[in-house]
Structure 1
Amino acid sequence: MQAENLGVDKELFEYVAESVTQSPFYNLIGVSHISLGPGSAEMIVTAGRQHTNPVDLVHGGLIMSIADAAMANSVRSMGVRPVTVDCSTSFLASAEFGKDIITRGKVIKRGKNLLFAEADVWSEGILIATAKATFFNIGDIKV
């Protein structure tokens, strides 16, 4: 899927979009971009049987991972190389395998060294989780 650029510098957008397609972890879980805007990112994964827990629902670890991915990429859209220092997720509903899971992350505040972001996670039009995270800026993205 080709990601949509919603206003990010062209070179930065191409760098972030390409790095997502090359990420071993993102490839492992199957997550990809839908769109990237200044301080925002929307990502998608189609949950497969490999993403389920022992009760045959999508594992919470996948939901947490894609929420973190959307928040981190919303930070990266601002030209920052982030690492997650804190992340919390609230689960509101379950998700079934075979369905698309979409997460929308956005930067809430940018400080000198720390950035704060939040994400909503949706499946079949139902809000299944919310997340908040703090990221440490380890440097600027050089494109």
Structure 2
Amino acid sequence: MLERDRASEALGITLVSTAGGRAVTTMTVGPQMLNGFDVVHGGLIFALADTAFAVACNEDDSMTLAAGAEISFLRPARLGQVLTATAELRARSGRSGIYDVQVVDETGAVIAEFRGKSRTVHR
């Protein structure tokens, strides 16, 4: 799935690892990612977390999509920082799942916390 994800590719998001309901992605903050306050646009932090969430949800041949998601921004990220999103499965029942994603900077400081709800659908 990620090999065909043109949005993540355009943002420079890379997959670090994936296994058993867990995925780690990274993104280096470029100048085109900054908002009018010279901090990373929240939508791009969301996109990084959402990509980790998507990879963690799609560990098999099923097609699993986001049914909903929310994010809390805890501190700003700035130009040149490397952000890492780690997604982990919290619960799954039938076709529904809940995943938590933590986004940190290169020092380990928490930038954002994301919770995604997934739904497996028929292809």
Fold shared per TM-score above 0.5:
yes
Instruction: Quote the residue 1:133 is aligned against.
Output: 116
Q: Are residue 87 (structure 1) and residue 69 (structure 2) matched?
A: yes
Q: How far is the alpha carbon of 1:80 from its aligned partner?
A: 3.3
CA distance in 1, matches of 2:99, 2:7: 21
- Equivalent residue, structure 2, for 1:6: none
* % identical equivalent positions: 25
Structure 1 residues 51, 123: closer, same or farther in 2, change over 3 A?
A: same
Runs of 4+ in structure 1 deviating by more than 2 angstroms, as ranges, are: none
The 5 A counterparts of 1:1-143 are 19-124=1-106, 125-139=108-122
Aligned-pair distance for 1:136? 1.0
5+ residue gaps, structure 2, are: none
RMSD: 1.4
Q: For structure 1, which segment, 22-31 or 101-110, has the greater mean C-alpha deviation from structure 2 after superposition?
A: 22-31
Contact 1:94 1:128 in 2 (8 A): yes
TM value normalised by structure 2 = 0.92
Q: Distance in 2 between matches of 1:94 and 1:63?
A: 10
Structure 1 residue runs of 5 or longer lacking an equivalent are 1-18
Aligned-pair distance for 1:100?
A: 0.6
Q: CA deviation at 1:78?
A: 4.4
1:105 is displaced (CA, Å) by 0.1
Q: How many residues align?
A: 122
SS of the equivalent of 1:135 reads: strand
Shift, 1:39, TM fit: 0.5
Given that 1:103 and 1:120 are in contact with CA atoms closer than 8 Å, whether structure 2 keeps it comes out as yes
Q: What CA deviation, in whole Å up to 9, does each residue of 1:41-78 have, x standing for no partner?
A: 00001110111111111110011111111111111124
Q: For 1:71 and 1:65, how far apart are their aligned partners in 2? A: 10
TM-score (norm 1): 0.80
In the TM superposition, residue 79 of structure 1 has moved relative to its aligned partner by: 4.2
2:45 is paired with a residue whose SS is: helix
